[in-house]
Amino acid sequence: MSTKELAMETIRDLPENASWQEIEERIHFLAAVEKAREEVRRGDVVPHEDVRNLLGQWLSE
């Protein structure tokens, strides 16, 4: 499904009385999810264990 098709389907699925803000938020959310999926496909992620270690360091400071 193309980006445009996904956006149109998303808008169609919203209630008839959806506000511009609700539409914008939904589209923004979908764009963020797609960006994250692309980062995962590229391997541009932080391994879970690294995150745990960083969190441990931050909490102990």
Maximum distance among all Cα pairs of the chain, rounded to whole angstroms: 50
Report the C-alpha gap between 6 and 48 in whole angstroms: 30
pLDDT, tens only, 29-57: 999 999 999 999 999 999 999 999 999 99
The pLDDT mean for the chain works out to 95
- pLDDT at position 8 is 96
Please report, for the chain, the start and end positions of each structural domain, with discontinuous segments joined by +: 3-60
Q: Give pTM, 2 decimals.
A: 0.71
- pLDDT at position 31 is 96
61 pLDDT more than 90: no
| Band of pLDDT at residue 18, cut at 50, 70 and 90 | very high
Q: Report the chain's C-alpha Rg in angstroms.
A: 17
